[in-house]
A and B are shown apart, each in its own frame.
Chain A
Amino acid sequence: MDQTSTLEKVLRRVAISLVILFFMFPIFWIVLMSFQTNETILRVPPSIVFEPTLSNYVALITGRLETQAGTLEVNFMSNLWNSLFLSAGSVAVGLILGIPAAYAFGRIKFRGSEDIAFTLLSFRFAPPLLVLLPLTIYFQKIGLADTYFGLIWVYQLIVLPLILWIVRGYFEDIPADIEYAYRIAGHSWFSTFRKVALPLAMPGIAAAGLLAFIFAWNNFIFALVLASADKQPVTVGALAFVTASGIQYGQVAAGIVLSILPTLALALYAQRYLVEGLSLGAVKG
Chain B
Amino acid sequence: MSIQLSDVRKSFTNDLVLDGVSLDIPTGETLVLFGPSGAGKTVLLRLIAGVIDPDGGRIIVNGADMEGVVPEDRGIGMAFQNFALFPHMDAHANIASPLTARRETRSGIKARVKEVATLLKIDHVLAHRPMELSNGQKQRTALGRALAAEPSILLLDDPLRNVDAKLRFEMRLELPRLLKEQNATVIFVTQDYKEAMALGDRIAVMGDSGIVQIGTPEEIYLRPSSTRIARLFGDPTINLLDVVPEIGAHGPIIQLSGREIAISGSYAGAVGQACSLGIRPEAIHFVEPGAPGAFPVEIEAETPLNEKTVTLAATRNNREILVSRPSGAPGPDRGSAHVAFDMGNALLFDLATGARMIGTDAPANEMSK
Instruction: Consider the complex of A and B and state whether they touch directly, i.e. have CB atoms less than 8 Å apart.
Output: yes
**A binding-site residues for B, Cβ under 8 Å:** 175-178, 180-189, 191, 196, 199-200
Q: How far is the CA of A175 from the CA of B82 in the complex (A)?
A: 10
Q: Are B80 and A183 within 8 A (Cβ)?
A: no
**Is there an interface contact between B88 and A199, defined as CB atoms closer than 8 Å?**
yes
Overall SS of chain B's interface: loop
Would you list 24 pairs from A and B whose C-beta atoms are within 8 A, ordered by A residue?
A: A175-B84, A176-B51, A177-B82, A177-B84, A178-B84, A178-B86, A180-B49, A181-B85, A181-B86, A182-B97, A183-B71, A184-B50, A184-B76, A185-B72, A185-B98, A185-B145, A185-B149, A186-B97, A186-B98, A186-B101, A186-B102, A187-B97, A188-B70, A191-B101
- Is B87's beta carbon under 8 Å from chain A? yes
Check A200–B80 contact: CB distance below 8 A. Answer: no
In the complex, B46 has a CB within 8 A of chain A: yes
Chain A residues, Cβ within 8 Å of B84: 175, 177-178, 180-181
In chain B, residues 28-74, which have Cβ atoms closer than 8 Å to a Cβ of chain A? Answer: 46, 49-51, 70-72, 74
Q: Which 4 A-B pairs have the closest CB atoms?
A: A186-B101, A177-B84, A185-B98, A183-B71
Of B80, B97, B102, the residue contacting A177 (CB under 8 A) is: B80
CB of B51 within 8 A of CB of A183, answer yes
Q: Which residues of B contact A200 (CB under 8 A)?
A: 87-88
Residue among A182, A187, A196 with max Cβ neighbours from chain B (10 Å): A182
Other-chain contact of A184, B71, B82, B85, B87 (Cβ < 8 Å):
B71
> Is B206 part of the binding interface, using a Cβ–Cβ cutoff of 8 Å?
no
Chain B residues with a Cβ closer than 8 Å to the other chain, count = 25
In the complex, what residue of chain B is closest to A196 when comparing beta carbons?
B86
Question: Taking CB as reference atom, which chain B residue is nearest A180?
Answer: B51
For the residues of A in contact with B, the DSSP-based class is: helix
Name the contact of A186 in the complex, choosing from B46, B72, B88 (C-beta under 8 A). Answer: B72
Asked if B18 lies at the interface with its beta carbon under 8 angstroms from chain A, I say no
Q: Are A184 and B51 in contact (CB under 8 A)?
A: yes
Nearest opposing residue in chain B for A181, CB measure: B84
With a cutoff of 8 Å between Cβ atoms, the chain A residues found around residue B77 in the complex are 184
Of A180, A185, A196, A199, which is within 8 A of B46 by CB?
A180
Evaluate contact between B78 and A184: CB separation under 8 angstroms: yes
Among B46, B72, B149, max chain A CB count under 10 A is at: B72
How distant is the Cα of A181 from the Cα of B145 in the complex, in angstroms?
9
A180 contacts which chain B residues (CB < 8 A)? 46, 49, 51, 71, 78, 80, 84
Residues of B within 8 A of A176 (CB): 51
Q: Find out whether the CB atom of A185 lies under 8 angstroms from the CB atom of B82.
A: no
Q: How far is the CB of B87 from chain A (nearest CB, A)?
A: 7
CA A199 to CA B80, docked complex, whole Å: 21
Shortest CB-to-CB span from A217 to chain B, Å, is 31
List the B residue with the shortest CB-CB distance to A200: B88
Q: Give the docked Cα–Cα distance between A175 and B84 (Å).
A: 8
A283 CB → nearest B CB, Å: 24
Given A180-B71, A181-B80, A181-B145; A187-B101 close (CB under 8 Å): yes
Most buried by B among A176, A185, A186, A188: A185
Return chain B residues, CB-CB under 8 Å to A178. Answer: 84-87
Set of chain B residues within 8 Å of A183, measured between Cβ atoms: 50-51, 70-72
Chain A residues with CB under 8 A of B101:
185-187, 191
Per the bound structure, the CA–CA distance linking A56 and B49 in Å amounts to 68
How many angstroms between the C-alpha atoms of A176 and B72 in the bound complex? 15
Across the interface, which residues of B come within 8 angstroms of A187, CB to CB?
Answer: 72, 97, 101
Q: Which residues of the other chain, A, contact B49 by a CB distance below 8 angstroms?
A: 180, 184
B86 and A182 contacting across the interface, CB-CB below 8 Å: yes
Closest to B82 in A: A177
Chain A residues whose C-beta falls within 8 Å of the C-beta of B82 in the assembled complex: 175, 177
Q: How far is the CA of A274 from the CA of B87 in the complex (A)?
A: 25
- Within the complex, what minimum Cβ distance (angstroms) separates A175 from chain B? 6
In the complex, A199 Cα to B86 Cα: how many Å? 10
Name the residue of chain A whose CB is nearest to the CB of B96: A185
Q: In the complex, given contacts A177-B80, A184-B50, A184-B51, what are 6 additional A-B residue pairs having Cβ atoms less than 8 angstroms apart? A: A175-B84, A181-B85, A181-B145, A185-B145, A186-B72, A186-B101
Contact in complex: B97, A185 (CB < 8 Å): yes
| A177 / chain B contacts, CB cutoff of 8 Å | 80, 82, 84
Q: How far is the CA of A188 from the CA of B98 in the complex (A)?
A: 12
Q: Which of B64-122 contact A (CB under 8 A)?
A: 70-72, 74-78, 80, 82, 84-88, 97-98, 101-102
* A182 and B70 alpha carbons, distance in the complex (Å): 12
Q: Using Cβ atoms and an 8 Å threshold, which residues of chain A touch B86?
A: 178, 181-182, 196
Q: Which residues of A contact B149 (CB under 8 A)?
A: 185-186
Closest chain-B Cβ to A114's Cβ sits at a distance in Å of 13
- The distance from the CB of A173 to the nearest CB of chain B, in whole angstroms, is 12
Chain B residue with minimal CB distance to A175? Answer: B84
The interface residues of chain A lying within 8 Å CB-to-CB of B80 are 177, 180-181
What 1/0 flags go to B141-179 for Cβ under 8 Å of A?
000010001000000000000000000000000000000
Q: Write out the residue numbers on chain B whose beta carbons fall within 8 Å of the beta carbon of A196.
A: 86, 88
Flag if B78 contacts A181 (CB, 8 Å): yes
CA distance A177 to B76 in the complex (A): 15
Q: Which residue of B lies closest to A191 (CB)?
A: B101
- Tell me which of B71, B78, B149 has the highest count of chain A C-beta atoms within 10 A of its own C-beta: B71
A88 and B98 alpha carbons, distance in the complex (Å): 38
Closest-CB distance, A167 to chain B (whole angstroms): 17
With A175-B82, A177-B80, A177-B82 already in contact, the answer to whether A184 and B72 are too (CB < 8 A) is yes
Q: Hey, which chain B residues are within 8 Å of A184, CB to CB?
A: 49-51, 71-72, 74, 76-78
